[in-house]
A and B are shown apart, each in its own frame.
Chain A
Amino acid sequence: MQPVNANVTEPVLLILLSLAAQPRHGYAILKDVEQMSGGRIRLSTGTLYGALRRMLEDEWIQRHKEENPARGRQGYRLTAKGRRLLEQEVARMNEFTRLASLRFAQREG
């Protein structure tokens, strides 16, 4: 089962998920991704900003002004296109999970 978009790697998916709830700045995304993956995925700053750049170019996310911009912090939030992509990707994973459960049940039965 192919991803909806070939650029949606696991770190990208986690970044999109991180921004789904609320806009965040770079460091907050790093921490959130680490927390969501249970410490398994620790993005470096270089990797994070490489991914953010691609996502900005694909218009999945956009920059927005932080209310309290400290240390040149820049906030990011999902665009409608990014949210749609994320929903499609989650739907694909749900379908995969449903299919897997079905197969496991067949084997056990």
Chain B
Amino acid sequence: MVSIYRSLLKLYPEEHRLAFAEEMFGVFRDARAELEQKTVRERMAFYLREITGLMLGVARERIRELHCCDSKIGGIMDHRSECRFPPFAIVMMTIVFLIVVELIAKGEGLSHYLFRMYTVSGQHVAGTPEHWDLGKSFGQWPSHYGLLSGVVMVFLLAWGAGVAAWAIAYLLRRTGTQRLEEFPIWPSSR
């Protein structure tokens, strides 16, 4: 239980952990040492209280981390003048999240479209073995795994866009000699 408690302490934000984790662990150990004379019920109540308290504390500190700005704990911690997640960042995160969801939905739609385009539902594709009823099996695949196909499609599109961007950058690259040619020639020393 002691090692579990110690592991759970790692869930706290780093700032809180550095300031209090050792101390909290010490207090937990002291309190636990007293349990030897207690009944099983009291022990269970103790562990339940400690774990619940710790998890609530973690949630509280994580929420504080999102909102808090200045932190000064008896001069032990550095004064932090900027929020880790200012309101602007939270708005941007929400927008990005919505864009990603929308992209996945579009990707899912695109995967449906592509599978319908290349397969004919319920028909055997010429040139393939008899038991390969591609139309039936692939025709239904996206509806069963819609989200997965959407994610895969977005990944493929993002990967394709990345490759294209890299190719453009590669084509437009300039060698060191080409860059040096742009430098003005220094006047010769008199």
Contacts and interface: CB of A to CB of B under 8 A. Distances in A.
Interface of A: 26-27, 30, 42-50, 52-53, 56-57, 62-63, 71-74
B72 A73 contact: no
A48 B49 CA distance: 12
Main SS of the interface on chain A?
helix
Contacts of A73: 23, 26
Interface of B: 16, 19-20, 22-31, 49-50, 52-58, 60-61, 71-74, 76
B76 A47 contact: no
Given A27-B27, A56-B73, A62-B74, A49 B56 contact: no
Interface centre among B27, B30, B57, B74 (most CB of A within 10 A): B27
Contact of A50 (B30, B31, B60, B72): B60
A47 B23 contact: no
B71 A57 contact: yes
A109 B24 CA distance: 53
B26 A71 contact: yes
7 contacts: A30-B27, A47-B56, A47-B57, A49-B57, A53-B16, A57-B73, A74-B23
Contact of A49 (B23, B74, B76): B23
B57 to A, nearest CB: 3
A44 B73 contact: no
A47 B29 contact: no
A46 B76 CA distance: 19
Contacts of A48: 27
Contact of A63 (B57, B58, B74): B74
A72 B26 contact: yes
B23 A72 contact: yes
Contacts of A71: 26, 29-30
Contacts of B58: 46
B15 to A, nearest CB: 10
Contacts of A56: 72-74
- List the 7 closest pairs (A to B, CB-CB), nearest first: A44-B53, A46-B57, A46-B53, A46-B54, A71-B26, A63-B74, A72-B22
Given A42-B49, A53-B16, A63-B73, 8 more contacts: A26-B24, A50-B56, A53-B61, A56-B74, A57-B72, A57-B73, A72-B22, A73-B26
A62 B72 CA distance: 11
A52 B22 CA distance: 15
